[in-house]
Amino acid sequence: MSGLAAKVIAITGASSGIGAASARRLAARGAKLVLGARREARLRSLADEISGVGGDAVCAVTDVRRSQDLTYLVACACETYGRLDVLIGCAGIGPISALDDLRLTDWEDMVDVNLKGFLYGIAAALPVFRRQGFGHFVTVISTAGLRIAPNQAVYAGTKNAVRTICEGLRLEAGAKLRVTSVSPGFVKTDFASSMTDPVMRAATLAKMDDIGIEPDAIARAIAFAIAQPADVDVGDIVVRPTAQA
């Protein structure tokens, strides 16, 4: 199936930012959505908003640190809509800090959410995609992994681990599955709220205010990749503000 109409798409991190913008854009183009994140009220309000304008969306409360939640998210798509065409992995956190600060809990959280959460998505969706004979992984990475900056080593490390695994997944996927990674630069979202160091949070918010682009810019790139014909695999997309070095 080409295009977006009637595609069944599950999204982690759908409660805000890039995930929510992607849900709105994809629903407007006729996709059927399963919205995953921890904040149920925000998911419900987004699902109501989508349904209110004639779209199709259900919610599945998902904490990507729990592999069974990803299994549930994928099962929810299959039970509600009969299949899963695309899993968009958007859930992510970025409590950045200097390595000297030894914020071990933040390091562990980034590994758990950004890296292990991504792997749990593969574990949940890959067997379903294999059974179906089609499926598409779309994963949101970051330009932080393309240009390493001080204070972002662990965040960039988790994102580049995901980048490497995406490429391995693409190589192993075979002719029937598609694997896309999207690396955004500064985007105006709630992302800084996951930052525990107030100095890092303030600096990130200032940068977002200064040069950040709207989350729909990333949603458009995601929609482009999904809308390609089934034999076209869009690999890596980088979308950053023109003003970003």
184 binds ligand NAP (CB under 6 A): yes
Q: How far is the CB of 106 from ligand NAP (least distance, A)?
A: 13
What is the rounded CA–CA span in Å between residue 185 and residue 237? Answer: 11
140 binds ligand NAP (CB under 6 A): yes
Q: Which of 9, 10, 27, 37 binds ligand NAP (CB under 6 A)?
A: 37
26 binds ligand NAP (CB under 6 A): no
Q: Which stretch binds ligand NAP (CB under 6 A): 27-35, 49-57, 62-70, 73-81?
A: 62-70
The pattern of x and - marking residues 109 through 128 that bind ligand NAP according to CB under 6 A reads ----x---------------
Q: Which of 88, 178, 186, 234 binds ligand NAP (CB under 6 A)?
A: 186
Which value, in Å, is the radius of gyration of the alpha carbons in the chain?
A: 17
What is the rounded CA–CA span in Å between residue 83 and residue 190? Answer: 31
Q: How far is the CB of 191 from ligand NAP (least distance, A)?
A: 4
Angle of helix 153-173 relative to helix 117-132, nearest 10 degrees, comes to 10
Q: How many residues does this entry show for the chain? A: 245
Q: 64 vs 173, which CB is nearer to ligand NAP?
A: 64
12 binds ligand NAP (CB under 6 A): yes
The answer to whether 72 is a known catalytic residue is no
Q: Which of 3, 29, 30, 38 binds ligand NAP (CB under 6 A)?
A: 38
Footprint of ligand NAP on 92-111 (CB under 6 A): 92-94
Tell how far CA 115 is from the center of its chain: 12
Which residues does 98 contact at the CB level (< 8 Å), separation at least 6? 150, 151
Residues in contact with ligand NAP by the rule CB under 6 A:
12-13, 15-19, 37-39, 62-65, 90-94, 113, 140, 142, 184, 186-187, 189-191, 193-194, 215
- Active-site annotation, residues: 155
